[in-house]
Amino acid sequence: DAASEAGSRHSRTSRRSRAGAAPEPEVDPGALPDHQDQHRGLLRVTFGDGTAWAFPLVGIVHRPALEASEHALTFPRTHVDAAQSLPLAIWNPSRAPAVWRLEHIAPKRTAADDLRDRTVTRITGKPPKPSRDEPGIFEFATTAGTVPPMAGRAPEPVQIMVRCKPSEPGHYKSRFRFAVAHGKAAEVDVEVDATLDEEDDFYHLTERHKDDFMYTKSLL
């Protein structure tokens, strides 16, 4: 009858529980994006008759994150009297809002930098052109904000215009970080060669309208 059938199922379940917990669901941590964390646990339920059931638990925590369209944004060679603007897109691939602010990252010279300079000097016969870290010549249209979580299968990019106005000749390079509160940041190197050559006025891209660039949304 129904009662004996239910009792038989309970008995079989109890025997399996005493023998050990059911196998946990397999989730490969390597398959997860780096803005997601996997957590495992085990829920044990003990009944009055001494039997115990064990339920494996697996949870995925989504941390906010930002990604950028460029790791390096390089302006064309330009005259020091010319200002230029280029677009940069950022997006949020996570399921949590990304609250961010822009930070300048001071350069740190490494052994790899020394090795690269020695290699360039040996090949070209002259040392490489030194870079100047002057973040003030690079102006971001927006320096803080919130990018909403991904709503569909693909995130929606948000456009930020970056303006460059060097003050004197030289090679400029600065690194910026889109720091995300409690989440994964994005970094981008911005650089330009500024000269006094009049022919470089040809690259005067100032005041190009933001609609000239193909991104979905603008923060301007």
Given the structure tokens 């230029």, which residue do they identify? 84
Given the structure tokens 């299968």, which residue do they identify? 153
pLDDT for res 74: 94
pLDDT tens for residues 29-50?
Answer: 556 566 666 778 888 889 888 8
Q: Residue 17 pLDDT > 50, yes or no?
A: no
- pLDDT exceeding 90 applies to what percent of the chain? 38
Spatial separation of the C-alpha atoms in residues 121 and 87, rounded to whole Å: 34
For residue 219, which of 91, 96, 104, 105 has the smallest C-alpha distance? 91
Angle (CA) 155 187 141, round 5°? 75
Q: Are 161 and 141 in contact (CB under 8 A)?
A: yes
* pTM summary value: 0.66
- Across-strand partners of 45? 53
Q: Residue 11 pLDDT > 80, yes or no?
A: no
Task: Name the token pair of 82.
Answer: 């010319």
Which secondary-structure segment (H or E) carries 12? helix 2-19
- E strands in the chain: 36-46, 52-62, 67-68, 72-74, 78-79, 84-91, 98-105, 131-132, 138-140, 144-147, 158-164, 170-180, 186-195, 217-218
pLDDT for res 219: 45
151-155, 174-178, 184-188: range with lowest mean pLDDT: 151-155
Question: Average per-residue pLDDT in the chain?
Answer: 78
Confidence of residue 1 (pLDDT cuts 50, 70, 90): very low
Give the Cβ contact number of residue 148 at 10 Å: 13
For residue 104, which of 137, 68, 145 has the smallest C-alpha distance? 137
Mean pLDDT of 124-128: 82
pLDDT tens for residues 184-200?
Answer: 999 999 999 998 876 65
Q: Residue 12 pLDDT > 50, yes or no?
A: no
> Of 76-85, 110-119, 168-177, which has the strongest mean pLDDT?
168-177
